[in-house]
Structure 1
Amino acid sequence: MMPEAFYESMWGFYLLGSLLFIPGAHYTYIAYQAYYETPGYTYDDIPIMN
């Protein structure tokens, strides 16, 4: 059995994981559509982070 403090600290990881997963999934979808040349999607839609 895990201590109660372990379960309470997991909410931060769930929140962080959600915040990172959502934009990643969005840009993966754009890249997928651009790869298959779907009209309206290009690789230029994905911002370049410097």
Structure 2
Amino acid sequence: MVGRFSFDSYVQFGGSPMAASVFDLLLPGAMAAAAFATLIGFALAVIVI
């Protein structure tokens, strides 16, 4: 998925490898942050309940 996404961003940004590499770095980080926030949300809900 990440490889395909980087290829799409490479084409979208006019073939800029810099933009593609930035997306390769940011996308997994954003996914990890979202998963981490979800886990924290569940933990807080359990504590409150």
Identity value in percent:
9
Q: Which runs of 4+ in 1 moved over 6 A?
A: none
**How big is the alpha-carbon RMSD for the aligned residues of Structure 1 and Structure 2?**
2.5
Larger Rg: 1
How many residue pairs get matched?
Answer: 35
Structure with bigger helix share is: 2
1:20 equivalent to 2:29? Answer: yes
Please state whether the residue corresponding to 1:10 is helix, strand or coil.
Answer: helix
List gaps (5 residues or longer) in structure 1.
Answer: 39-50
1:29 equivalent to 2:38? Answer: yes
Higher relative contact order (CA 8 A, sep 6+): 2
AA aligned opposite 1:16: L
